[in-house]
Chain A
């Protein structure tokens, strides 16, 4: 129970806001474009257009702010490390010094810039994954890859593999917990003792997990074939996506924000 709850790959926060209802492909494209925009900027101030768009998106989505805070947690260490390194090791005009430790003005500016960059990159992707269900997201990836199928990339199959993998993450976590409980009840001590002992204690968990995963895969394949699935055949979708006006707004907003960043960088 604890394992599957603490695991936040599926960071989906279901909702009915217009951000949730807009097309996954549009959101994916917009996210990628915004990320490029984040990398194009060279000064902190140039992030303003992106921040405006992001804040608007977060507010409209009505996803609670602590959800975004949770998304930042995994990269907290990375943020602190880079900020500290930039702050103390950037040469320039010294504004504070104790012994050989010093902070430069340039260091402070650069640290702030990097901080904004990392936080923005994370928040943009959290907004995407929070407002889009994993299934929609894989559909969007498959749409994005579709042009590649003309040059022989099996885009539909890649998308299928992705969605099956995502579908089974919670199932396999549950299975893992079940097996751990069973082996612990047979006196197994997991994660105790020397490194070698710890590695050995994983064998009674991994082997049953592999066995059951193969069995599951077999069952799934049979079930899919029984329902007429054939590799390479064209498939239709249960949830057909149509372009809506909100999609246009998102794309226009994204284009405006990113061109804002580019123009700012070129001419200001």
Chain B
């Protein structure tokens, strides 16, 4: 099972003098259970792409296929697809409306007709997944939380529905660095436990390098690269051409190579980079 895009074009104001290609000839394949990054500079079509994944937008040309369902304007198809693909938009805490966190997180479950016990269970599970103690939080108002807690509640309200595919559009924007890592680590734990597919749209290359095994790179509405994340970051010219930056760990490793140092670092994440650096420095017997 997978999400596939086949030659998708999306044109704003098609046929008008101001027509604008937001997506052109996008073909993608996202495997179930993967942790996939979607990156690209501002205006490269990331958000437009995301809105195609659960039928908020329909392709001007081409098909979006979720599992075996071709997304169309048909109400039944849309209901099925939205039941499978959940999207956490940018600043998801802006959608809060309920009096208590319980109601907020239960909103999606109720919409999909969960029984009372199912709602209860899903809400508790989702809250634990995002690292918030249900007994303490569920009766509070979502508006009295801190920014990081609000973001977690918003993510919980999508996770609670139990969709197969979860798309997050910059889930860590505006969070402090501690919360950033924690939120993503929670998603990774969830993915390993339930085999859910996580699609992460991000501007932060360190995050992408650390969590996403696969990456989709968009440039000017087209796919510039699709494949293993380390392959992408190893191709410096491609990274520069698509207007992106190398993660810190890759930059350090390149800098070390460039000055002919015998030191090598692990590029997988900033944390591992630091660890490996410490190790190799002590191996060399240096300070």
Contact = CB atoms under 8 A, between A and B. Distances in A.
Interface of A: 1, 178-179, 181-189, 203-208, 211-212
A44 B92 CA distance: 58
B12 to A, nearest CB: 7
Given A208-B94, A211-B96, A185 B111 contact: no
Task: Report the interface size class on chain B.
Answer: 20 to 34
B275 to A, nearest CB: 39
B137 interface: no
B161 A187 contact: yes
A186 B97 contact: no
A189 B92 CA distance: 18
A1 B89 CA distance: 16
Given A187-B161, A208-B95, 20 more contacts: A178-B94, A181-B51, A181-B56, A181-B89, A182-B92, A183-B95, A185-B87, A185-B158, A186-B95, A186-B108, A186-B157, A187-B107, A187-B108, A187-B111, A203-B97, A205-B97, A207-B96, A208-B94, A208-B97, A211-B94
A189 B94 contact: no
Name, among A181, A203, A206, the residue most crowded by chain B CB atoms within 10 Å (CB to CB). Answer: A181
B254 interface: no
Contacts of B96: 207-208, 211
Contacts, number: 58
What secondary structure prevails in chain B residues at the interface with A? Answer: helix
A186 B167 CA distance: 12
Given A186-B161, A187-B161, A204-B107, A179 B95 contact: yes
A184 B89 contact: no
Interface of B: 12, 51, 54, 56, 82-83, 86-87, 89, 92, 94-97, 107-108, 111-112, 143, 157-158, 161
Given A185-B56, A204-B95, A211 B143 contact: yes
Contacts of B54: 185
B143 A185 contact: no
Given A1-B12, A181-B51, A181-B89, A186 B94 contact: no
B94 A179 contact: yes
B254 to A, nearest CB: 39
Contact of B97 (A181, A185, A204): A204
A127 to B, nearest CB: 23
Contacts of A207: 96-97
B143 A186 contact: no
B69 to A, nearest CB: 16
A14 to B, nearest CB: 14
B10 to A, nearest CB: 11
10 contacts: A182-B87, A182-B89, A182-B94, A186-B86, A186-B95, A187-B108, A188-B107, A203-B97, A208-B94, A208-B96
Name, among B83, B97, B112, the residue most crowded by chain A CB atoms within 10 Å (CB to CB). Answer: B97
A70 to B, nearest CB: 14
Nearest to A185: B87
Nearest to A212: B94
Contacts of B107: 186-188, 204
Contact of B111 (A179, A186, A203, A212): A186
Contacts of B89: 178, 181-182, 185
A178 B86 CA distance: 15
A184 B82 contact: yes
Contacts of A184: 56, 82
A202 to B, nearest CB: 10
A189 B157 CA distance: 16
Contacts of A187: 82-83, 107-108, 111-112, 161
Contacts of B82: 184-185, 187
Contacts of A212: 94
A95 B161 CA distance: 69
A200 to B, nearest CB: 11
Nearest to A175: B94
A237 B94 CA distance: 35
B112 to A, nearest CB: 5
Given A181-B89, A182-B89, A188 B51 contact: no
